[in-house]
Amino acid sequence: MGFFDKLRGEFIDIIEWTDDSRDTMVYRFERHDNEIKMGAKLIVRESQMAVFINKGKLADIFEPGDYTLETDNLPILSTLQGWKHGFHSPFKAEVYFVNARRFTDLKWGTKNPITLRDPEFGPVRIRAFGTYAIRVSDSEKFIKEIVGTDGHFTTDEITDQLRNLIISRFADIVGEAKIPVLDMAANYNELGDFISGKIHDDFLAYGIDITKMLVENISLPPAVEEVLDKRTSMGIVGNLNQYTQFQAATAMEKAAENDGMAGGGMGMGMGFAMANQMGQSMNQQPSSAPQSSASQSSVPQSTPPPLPQQKSYHVAIDGQSKGPLPVNQLQALVDSGSMTRDSLVWTGGMADWQKASEVDGVKSLFSAMPPPLPPQ
């Protein structure tokens, strides 16, 4: 090997990075102290950014493309190197390739339950988890704030910090929004977009943009879920009387299928007992009005309830008030002619005396009597 061949072997002619991993965010180009030849090729592929750093200072940044490195397209590095005029000698610089593609399916979740005040259940504890996606939006800020001198930076090195940031903001946002727990399950997409908008600026401070935030599940403590399941079961059962009848009919069918003398006798006895219970349930008429604890008792009453009282009225006869008189006594006055349609009556709840023919509870007493004859 000649002297010039050896000299050319110490120079870098092509700078590029091909990566098949799914988690590398920043990769430092390995040059093993070799100098970069002026006029070398720089290949920056799609979803990549190339960042040159000289003596610890960030210099030039290249977007996707094919470049020939010269002093003209290295203005900042030329200034740092002190190249006042065109310079064609090799130079040393660190080259970092930043992966600008979207990193998806990153996990987040609450390690400990979050306590919230729910308008329906009161104070409750919830857990939540989901996924999110990010990409590097500002290469300079990302290297300065996060990467530093790390030559192979992966998503595992920052996901813990981002997850803690998401959980912290999630607890504040959900607590301030005062969204009922039962409504969260029906609004996972809206909740994810809302949280993403709230933490967007926090991620940008690291040079990262959060492109998607998904809430996959929000769960309650097991004790609360058990009570909620019971409430749901009661709603599904609906009419308890009909449910009891259905259960009794099913039990009778199973008892009838039991073979053998002993089994048949036992099944018959159970059938009669259940039929009796079923008949009692069917005879009970459901009432829409709320019942008192005394009326709900299954113990039969020994005495009949009191008869309903008739409504009484005062009636004006010969300029004097008579009464209060029940309706049956008013009927006797009507039959005798002492009380006519024009007679004035009054009872509790009426603002003033009214004609008997205008009062609902009295005018029916005149239905059997003919109206007065028309004037001649």
Which of 156 and 349 is assigned the larger pLDDT? 156
With 60 as the cut, is the pLDDT of residue 288 above it? no
With 90 as the cut, is the pLDDT of residue 66 above it? yes
Beta bridge partners of 27: 97, 152
Beta bridge partners of 36: 12, 91
The second-level CATH assignment, the architecture, of 312-366 is 2-Layer Sandwich (3.30)
Per the confidence metrics, is the pTM higher than 0.85?
Answer: no
Q: How far apart are CA 168 and CA 368, in angstroms?
A: 84
Per domain, the residue ranges of the chain are 3-99, 103-221, 312-366
Closest CA to 321 of 342, 350, 345: 345
Q: From start to end of the chain, where are the E strands?
A: 11-15, 24-28, 35-44, 48-54, 57-62, 65-68, 94-99, 103-109, 114-118, 122-136, 152-154, 208-219, 312-317, 320-326, 344-346, 354-355
With 70 as the cut, is the pLDDT of residue 338 above it? yes
Q: ∠ CA(157), CA(163), CA(167), 5° rounding?
A: 160
Q: For domain 103-221, which CATH number applies: 3.30.479.30, 3.30.70.1070, 3.40.50.970, 3.40.47.10?
A: 3.30.479.30
Q: Concatenate the DSSP letters of all residues of 284-301 into one string.
A: SPP-SS---TTTT--SPP
Contact of 130 with 162, CB cutoff 8 Å:
no
Which of 165 and 122 is assigned the larger pLDDT? 165
Of all residues in the chain, the percent with pLDDT exceeding 90 is 22
103-221 and 312-366 share one fold = no
Q: How far apart are CA 169 and CA 190, in angstroms?
A: 16
Q: How far apart are CA 331 and CA 313, in angstroms?
A: 12
pLDDT (tens digit, 9 = 90+) per residue, 207-221?
A: 999 999 999 888 887
Of all residues in the chain, the percent with pLDDT exceeding 70 is 73
**Two tokens, residue 77:** 């590095």
Using only the alpha carbons of the chain, give its radius of gyration.
Answer: 46
With 60 as the cut, is the pLDDT of residue 3 above it? no
The mean of the pLDDT values for the chain is: 78
pLDDT at 262: 46
pLDDT (tens digit, 9 = 90+) per residue, 244-284?
A: 776 777 777 776 666 554 444 555 555 555 556 555 655 55
pLDDT (tens digit, 9 = 90+) per residue, 131-143?
A: 999 999 999 999 9
Mean pLDDT of 18-46: 85
Q: Lowest-confidence range among 8-17, 40-49, 83-92, 215-224?
A: 83-92
Contact of 175 with 87, CB cutoff 8 Å:
no
Q: How far apart are CA 150 and CA 121, in angstroms?
A: 49
